[in-house]
Structure 1
Amino acid sequence: MTTTARSKVNASDVEPNRRRGGDIRVTLSPRTVGSTSGFGGVLWLAPGEVVTEHYHPYSEEFLHVIAGELEMTMDGVPVRLAPDDSLIVPIGVRHRLVNIGNERAHVVFHLSPLAPRPDLGHVDTEQPAEPGAPNPDVGSAR
């Protein structure tokens, strides 16, 4: 068993990923803490803001809403989410998240298992919100 020197990460210390929309911060990952089974972090979405549609060919995604009113569309079916709601997005399901409320939304997420390589983790099915924005990956399992 290996240990990592860093096991606690503050979201403010992580580069935001705005490529698909929102402010996504991957706090726990192979790159940040040496995780080997998945990665997770936090997301903030302004009212009306969207995380563009994509899917994960290798990972389930778990979401828990802290604040805000959201709608996750999964394979074309809308699911409304409110504070304290949790949702699983199964492997291979296209999904798109929209803040449908009047306040900034806050979500905690986790994806597992890891894709074989970081570049295989997400498949975009619509034009990313900011295609030229940096897209920091989660790193590779060690």
Structure 2
Amino acid sequence: MSYYTPRVVHVPAGKGVVKWMSGDVYETMATAESTDGSVGFTVCWVPPGNGPVAHVHKSADESFYLISGSLEFLNGDRLFEANAGDFVFVPRGTRHRFRNNTDEQAHMVSFFTPGGGEGLWLEGGDDPVPGGKPEFWPPERGMALGPLLGRTEIDMEILPEQTDLGGPADEA
């Protein structure tokens, strides 16, 4: 391999692939395919009340960096709050989710290592509608994603959402 062979992935701001996922907006800037499997990188906007259901990624770690806003994270069986400037690392095999419990939109980046998990919204998400607004999905719409979850590159399982979680969690 030559050190002089161009191999850098560069996606200018606003030029990623945008998908709507149950009310959230995800702009994927790098995919497993574009990074030779190394990483999937997505910029996320999470409106008040939104966020995914509890789940686990079996074959990838997932990391988050909050640019603005605040999100409640599930960490196994504990909850904690992450705020602007915070970094969250979720090792594969850990039950997690995030939820915006505030009245302001949260903005963050999310990345999978190795990449592949971003395929869920790239294939199962909705194309944006010019002038439209993403809508929160009814349960049956989310359940329709079932066939994508078991695919090798996504390898995700939906888990129960407990409502009787304890108080403040251990640090993330």
Normalising by structure 2, report the TM-score.
0.61
Extract unaligned runs of 5+ from structure 1.
128-142
Query: Which residues in structure 2 correspond to 1:13-92 (within 5 Å)?
Result: 13-19=16-22, 22-31=24-33, 33-92=34-93
Secondary structure (helix, strand or coil) at the match of 2:52 reads strand
* Residue 15 of structure 1: how far off its partner (Å): 2.8
Per-residue CA deviation, residues 65-85 of structure 1 (Å, 9 max, x unaligned), is 011111010212101011001
109, 123, 126: which is aligned to 2:156? 123
Which residue matches 1:138? Answer: none
Does the 8 Å contact 1:54/1:124 carry over to 2? yes
Which residue matches 1:131? Answer: none
Extract unaligned runs of 5+ from structure 2.
120-150, 161-172
Mean Cα deviation higher: 51-60 or 65-74: 51-60
Q: How many residues align?
A: 123
Rg (Cα) greater in structure: 2
> What one-letter code is carried by the residue in structure 1 that aligns with 2:53?
T
* Residue 10 of structure 1: how far off its partner (Å): 3.5
User: Could you tell me the percent identity over the aligned residues?
Assistant: 24
Question: Alpha carbon RMSD of aligned pairs, Å?
Answer: 2.5
Secondary structure (helix, strand or coil) at the match of 1:16 reads strand
* Residue 104 of structure 1: how far off its partner (Å): 0.5
Which residue matches 2:129? Answer: none
